[in-house]
Amino acid sequence: MADGVVKRRGESGEQGRLARTGQWWKRALRSAGYERHTVLLIGKSTLAATIAWFISYHLLNAKSPAFAPFSAVLIMQVTVYQSLLQSLRYGGAVAVGVAVQAGLAFLAGPELLTFVLVALVALTIGRWPRLGAQGSQVTTAAFFAFSTYVSATSALEKITQLGQMILLVLIGCGVGILVNVTVVPPLRYRSAEHGIRALAHTLRDLVSDIYPALREHDVDDERTGQWRDRAARTEGLITQARTGLRTARESLPYNPRRLFHRHRGRTGFEGYGALLEALERVLYQVASLTRSLDQWAEEDGHHYEPFLERCADFLEVVSEMSQVLAALDEDKLSNQSAELCRLADHAQHCRRRVVEQAEQEGLPLADPVRPYGVLVIEATRLMEELQYTCDVLRRHAGR
């Protein structure tokens, strides 16, 4: 009986893994997301490595043919620009490493002290900031070159093998760049949209939880504490959005696919950059609002419910504006900017009602232990950022 249960559990776990694998491949085939990018990168890296191996082993009959496919895979970056940049750094690092080894070894011979000097100089040069992440390749190349130098039997063979090492690295880099440019070159302009969408989704979800509670007068310490924690966690999403924007910018230079997407990023992503900055400020204002609500210590039990309801009306429109940004699509920017500006006008009307309600009820706006004055100020600042966001999107849409 126990064996049967264990067997069924094992079969169930195996079926679950198979189902997840099938879903992963479905996502890779249906949408241009992480899964498809992973499949393309593996496929292109395999192709580049195979071509580099064929050239180095079958055509050149090199003694260390692995340098070429290793180099081809190493510089297969997410963007064409990064492939070019990293190949220059990697090729330079290898050339420097081989030169260091050759200079010291031919002067001092294949002695242990020579190896110490090679390691010392290569490790020092490898820390040069211009080499970036490829700095460690100076040391790697120097060590491999020293090994090749020691195993060679004549001076001519030593020179030939060291020169061939550099040649193989250049061949690998060239093959890697060629494959990355000609075989579905990565064009990641959508990364900018995805980052903004993620921030807008977070803003919408947070505000959509706040305004019903204000409208229903259900604001307690536990709930406001959760709002404050959620607002504080947006910093990570902001960092991811900035990374996505940077990747989108880098995907255009030297990429032949940009010729078929001339309307994409036509302003150099300045519009998305300004939109991201505006959305960051909106999130900061909402975070400030949640802190104010969390610090609220109402002493007399009077909540001035009509005022909180007006605040809820304003935040509801903010939620609707966030929904528009959460569906950001450059192909639909014209309609989306028009909708966002329409909602901005409505939000401005709701904000004025917040101020009028506060004045009508004579609320203690200057009392720091009550949130009324802070809510009026935050609503005004939030409206300014939302209006600026609308203006940025309208300019980017060419309206």
305-344 confidence digits (pLDDT tens): 788 888 889 999 999 988 888 887 777 778 888 888 899 8
Instruction: Report the predicted TM-score, pTM, of the whole model to 2 decimal places.
Output: 0.54
List helix spans (H) across the chain.
2-30, 34-53, 67-74, 80-108, 112-125, 136-151, 155-182, 190-215, 221-232, 234-250, 270-294, 305-326, 333-361, 372-396
Distance, CA of 141 to CA of 262 (rounded, Å)? 41
Domain ranges of the chain: 31-182, 190-396
DSSP state of 164: H
Give yes or no for residue 128 having a pLDDT over 50. Answer: yes
Tell me the Ramachandran region of residue 364: left when phi exceeds 0, alpha when psi lies from -120 to 50, beta otherwise.
beta
Which fold would CATH assign to domain 190-396? Answer: Methane Monooxygenase Hydroxylase; Chain G, domain 1 (1.20.58)
Tell me the Ramachandran region of residue 111: left when phi exceeds 0, alpha when psi lies from -120 to 50, beta otherwise.
beta
- Looking at per-residue pLDDT, the higher value among 1 and 224 belongs to 224
CB atoms within 10 A of CB 253: 13
Where does the pLDDT of residue 170 fall: very low under 50, low under 70, confident under 90, or very high at 90 and above?
very high
Q: What is the pLDDT of residue 51?
A: 95
Burial status of residue 201 (CB atoms within 10 A of its CB: 0-12, 13-18, 19 or more): middle
Burial status of residue 157 (CB atoms within 10 A of its CB: 0-12, 13-18, 19 or more): middle
Residue range 164-184: average pLDDT?
88
Distance, CA of 318 to CA of 335 (rounded, Å)? 18
Query: For the segment 186-235, what is each residue's pLDDT rounded down to a tens digit?
Result: 555 556 667 777 788 888 888 888 888 888 877 777 888 888 888 887 77
Q: What is the pLDDT of residue 263?
A: 45
Residue 147 corresponds to which amino acid? S
Q: Which residue has the tokens 């090729």?
A: 91
Burial status of residue 16 (CB atoms within 10 A of its CB: 0-12, 13-18, 19 or more): exposed
DSSP string of 68-121, one letter each residue: HHHHHHHT--SSHHHHHHHHHHHHHHHHHHHHHHHHHHHHH-S-HHHHHHHHHH
Rounded to 5 degrees, what angle do the CA atoms 113, 118, 121 make?
125
Give yes or no for residue 277 having a pLDDT over 60. Answer: yes
Tell me the Ramachandran region of residue 328: left when phi exceeds 0, alpha when psi lies from -120 to 50, beta otherwise.
beta
